[in-house]
Structure 1
Amino acid sequence: MSAPSTTMGPVEWIAIAFPGPRLADALAPALAELVRSGTVRLLDALVVHTSVDGAVTVSELEDEDGPAFEAVDGEVLELINDDDMAAVAAGLEPDTTTLVLVWEDRWAATFGEQVAGMHGVLLAHDRLPHADVERALGAALTDEVPA
């Protein structure tokens, strides 16, 4: 049996806004599966509530009402600071709930070990907008269909 990986994968943060005063319980199983499968390691998770009158409150994911998110295993490393939360909250519409996650992309750690072992250096990293990828895939599929 080989030793477990000690290389850390890329760490990212995301903020996802939902309408209404709370997170939907239906989100919990998908997030829990990402963690359970080892795809990601959850390093921090906060929830930002913006009331109808615009008042903002922040809580840890584990403090959300109901048992749905108890199955989400993660750490609270306090990587998200007050300035980060203020920046997220500034752009929120009233009556929204925003999930802010910091996670390590565990799926990339093994590849990263191989790159590092060959003295490779990451030169650039970015995300492509989903709409751009869909457009390109749609165009590629259209080009492949014989006329």
Structure 2
Amino acid sequence: MTEKHGKVMGPVDYLMIRFPGNKFTGKIAPELNNLEKKGIIRVIDLVMVMKDARGKLMIVEAKNLEGDAGAAYRELAKHTDEWFSEGDIEAIAMTLPNNSSAGLLLFENVWAIKFKEALLEADAELIDMGRIPPESIANAEKHLLAKGGA
């Protein structure tokens, strides 16, 4: 059972979102705020990694972002913890091409907590968990659109 401060936590996922050409803005922040307010997710950590044209890395926690992007993420950043280690961040950052940025997002699936508690109360055991790759989802969406669905 995963607990923090005596509280059952939902599953935790991470995303790495690339911004080619270092065109990072705060346009994603309102939707992340919306998902938190609805109790769907809880943002745990949010880090920006920027790689210039020569490959020099700059790593910035969301709470330290400046400008318009910083203002957009300030509300989310108030409640984040630093779960990503510097080694984790650097390993992920090395995969970035030069002249690009990435947002590293770690979030708890709050929606799953009550389901997890029900499983625990029923003495059920989770035996496997996974995620369908984005490419498979894109193929399924194309298939649905071709059939006139979705």
| TM-score, structure 2 as length reference | 0.82
**Aligned match of 1:58:** 59
Structure 1 unpaired stretches of 5+: 1-5
**Aligned match of 2:100:** 96
Q: Residue 143 of structure 1: CA displacement? A: 7.2
Size of the aligned set, in residue pairs, is 140
Larger Rg: 1
Aligned pairs for 1:27-38 within 5 A? 27-38=28-39
| Aligned equivalents of 2:22, 2:142: Cα separation in 1 | 36
Q: Residue 130 of structure 1: CA displacement? A: 2.5
| Aligned equivalents of 1:88, 1:141: Cα separation in 2 | 34
Q: Does the alignment pair 1:76 with 2:80?
A: yes
| TM-score, structure 1 as length reference | 0.83
Q: Residue 68 of structure 1: CA displacement? A: 1.5
Contact 2:18 2:100 in 1 (8 A): yes
| Aligned equivalents of 1:141, 1:96: Cα separation in 2 | 32
* 50 and 108 in structure 1: CA distance in 2 versus 1, 3 angstrom threshold: same
Aligned-CA RMSD value = 2.2
**Aligned match of 1:116:** 120
**Aligned match of 2:22:** 21
Structure 2 unpaired stretches of 5+: 1-6
Contact 2:48 2:60 in 1 (8 A): yes
